[in-house]
Amino acid sequence: MLKINNLHATVAGKKVLDGLTLDVPAGQVHAIMGPNGSGKSTLAYVLAGRPGYEVTAGSVSFKDQDLLTLAPEARAQAGVFLGFQYPVEIPGVNNVYLLKAAFNAARKHRGESEVDAFEFLELVRIKMRLMQMDEAFLSRGVNEGFSGGEKKRNEILQMLVLEPALAVLDETDSGLDIDALKIVAQGVNTLRSPERSMILVTHYQRLLDYIKPDQVHVLARGKIIRSGGSELALELEARGYDWLTQV
């Protein structure tokens, strides 16, 4: 699904990714952990194509196509979803309006007809029940006045509706209480399927109690320095990162 090979990237002239290699096969969930400033969010933004994140070397292939040559919106339409660490507020734009525009953009890209407002509402309602979100969410401005937890839930709702092939969730667990964490995890687990891959960027092992990853990677100084099974996360929780980064 996703093959990252020797990826180098800079932000504002500063080298952040320094030869990162990662392979996420279809159907797998990978967790990326690591100390602050190690390049985790940068990796997420580079995959999504955020302007200002410059790839200087390496390659990324997604479903056997060169991801880096695609425009950011084309990546999204092809099935790359980024769950933002800090979802931005867009006052005046209805949540449901943005969601429907995104949904139809992807359908159009696949050569399918756009769905109308009624059909779409039906679909969203089902997903909202899963996320235990009130329908009043739909008519509010995008993330406008949402609490931190509501914003994160909204990200997962969008993911459930868009059903991406690759979801990169950037610290979706931070700022969540335990109940919200469970709901978010349930949303993620619902989407797990053999055709879909996920990357969870996280600081805490506790998310992985609810979403069991196939692999855990440690990212430090712009590259993967250790990979392992879910037991690696437990070890990191107990020992921190120093024993790895000081090698």
The total of other beta-carbon atoms located within 10 Å of residue 49's CB is 20
User: Does 7 engage in binding with another protein (CB under 8 A)?
Assistant: no
Binding residues for another protein restricted to 129-168, rule: CB under 8 A: 141-142, 158, 162
User: Does 92 engage in binding with another protein (CB under 8 A)?
Assistant: yes
Using DSSP's 3-state secondary structure scheme, residue 226 falls into strand
How many residues at the interface with another protein, by CB under 8 A? 31
Give 84 or 241: the residue with its C-beta nearer to another protein: 84
Instruction: Tell me the two tokens of residue 95.
Output: 């949540």
CB of 82 to another protein, least distance (A): 5
Q: How far apart are the first and last CA of the chain?
A: 31
One symbol per residue from 214 to 243: x for binding another protein (CB under 8 A), - otherwise; what is it? ------------------------------
Using DSSP's 3-state secondary structure scheme, residue 79 falls into coil
Task: Say if CB 83 and CB 40 are below 8 A apart.
Answer: no
Q: Which residues contact 205 (CB under 8 A, 6 or more apart)?
A: 233, 234, 236, 237
CB of 73 to another protein, least distance (A): 5
Site for another protein, rule CB under 8 A: 48, 50-52, 72-73, 76-77, 81-82, 84, 87-94, 97-99, 101-102, 105-106, 109, 141-142, 158, 162
